[in-house]
Amino acid sequence: MRQWEVSFPPLTMPALTDTQNERDDRRLPIDRVGVRSLRFPMRIRDRDAAVQHTVATVSLAVDLPHQFKGTHMSRFVEILHAHGTELTVSNIVAMPRELMKKLHADKAHVEMRFPYFRSKTAPVSGAEGLLDYGVVFEVNADAKKTDFVLTVEVPVTTLCPCSKAISARGAHNQRGTVTLSVRFSDPVWIEDLLELVESSASSELYSILKRPDEKHVTEAAYDNPVFVEDLVRNVAVKAKAHTKITWFRVEAENYESIHNHNAWAVIESHTSPS
């Protein structure tokens, strides 16, 4: 050894305590524990343009048996990032079972919320603009099955039939949101569900309307008044007739223009989830 060299013993890291695996004696299992509000890039098949890129807000969870103090939060994020820089439908559907395996859980839950855009053409002028919708993929899994629910959140216009019937001039109308959730036997296009809902309202919405378009939309809504009850029934009739939909839940909420409350209605399919 040279005069200026110093020998050090090899470094050893002390064992780190795994607090999550410690026992909990309160005997209370947790239904869901995990992470939420995590944003991640996503690629989704688009009926109109082949592929659409968006950003999902992600929730990941598992059940926790009563004897464990906690779960390992970092593993949720590891599983998400293991799929690269973009999510697709196929790896979203597989993710709950990956969570169950990695976290030794009996049940797992994955939810992806994201904006979905369509290019829409104004009815008279042909002016084209993008309109955004809300879409949710929810996947739940246990040892026996994986359950996938697709939800769309669709803005619409409704015109009040009662207001039209009793008023000498005009009728009050308002914007509302229809939330349609479905299970299906074969994949359905998001666009098909959006169109199913929009065709059930007094009028659909557009991002760009010139004066001739505004006249057309106003008069079309006046000619097609619907209560919130009519709206959910219209959607339900079309969902029942859809050959691929096996279960649905439709909820409509009108943001009333002449009241300080909203009108609201729900219909859920009586068909048992597959």
Report the pLDDT value the prediction gives residue 27, as an integer from 0 to 100.
87
DSSP conformational letter for 255? -
The yes-or-no verdict on residue 4 having pLDDT over 70 is no
pLDDT digits (tens, 9 = 90+) for 50-109: 899 999 999 999 999 888 888 889 999 999 999 888 888 889 999 999 999 999 999 999
The secondary structure of 189-211 as a DSSP string is -HHHHHHHHHTTSSEE--S---H
Report the pLDDT value the prediction gives residue 70, as an integer from 0 to 100.
80
pLDDT digits (tens, 9 = 90+) for 115-136: 999 999 999 999 999 999 999 9
Q: In this structure, which amino acid lies at residue 211? A: R
Dihedral Cα 87, 40, 184, 254, nearest 10 deg: -160
Report the pLDDT value the prediction gives residue 3, as an integer from 0 to 100.
61
Task: Please answer whether residues 47 and 190 qualify as being in contact, where contact means their C-beta atoms are separated by less than 8 angstroms.
Answer: yes
Whole-prediction pTM: 0.89
Instruction: Enter the tokens of residue 122.
Output: 């104004």
Read off the pLDDT of each residue in 8-20 and give the average, rounded to a whole number: 69
Q: In this structure, which amino acid lies at residue 159? A: L
Residue 49 binned pLDDT confidence (cut-offs 50, 70, 90): confident
Report the pLDDT value the prediction gives residue 90, as an integer from 0 to 100.
87
Identify the three-state secondary structure at position 137.
Answer: strand
The secondary structure of 160-192 as a DSSP string is -HHHHHH-SS---EEEEEEEEEEEESS---HHH
Q: In this structure, which amino acid lies at residue 220? A: A
The CATH architecture assigned to 29-268 reads Roll (3.10)
> What b/e sequence results for 206-243 when a residue is b if at least 16 CB atoms lie within 10 Å of its CB, and e otherwise?
beebeeebeebbbeebeebbbbbebbbbbbbebbeeee
Report the pLDDT value the prediction gives residue 92, as an integer from 0 to 100.
94
CA atoms of 181 and 238, how far apart (whole Å): 13
Q: In this structure, which amino acid lies at residue 33? A: V
pLDDT digits (tens, 9 = 90+) for 182-203: 999 999 999 999 999 999 999 9
Mean pLDDT of the chain: 92
The interaxial angle of helices 228-241 and 190-198, nearest 10 deg, is 140
Report the pLDDT value the prediction gives residue 272, as an integer from 0 to 100.
52
Residue 156 binned pLDDT confidence (cut-offs 50, 70, 90): very high
Closest of 238, 244, 236, 242 to residue 269, by C-alpha:
236
Which residues does residue 140 pair with via DSSP β-bridges, in sequence order? 109, 147
Q: Where are the domains of the chain?
A: 29-268
Report the pLDDT value the prediction gives residue 48, as an integer from 0 to 100.
86
Higher pLDDT pick, 92 / 11: 92
Report the pLDDT value the prediction gives residue 139, as an integer from 0 to 100.
97
Closest of 67, 213, 210, 190 to residue 135, by C-alpha:
190
Closest of 36, 121, 47, 136 to residue 77, by C-alpha:
36
Closest of 4, 14, 57, 16 to residue 35, by C-alpha:
57
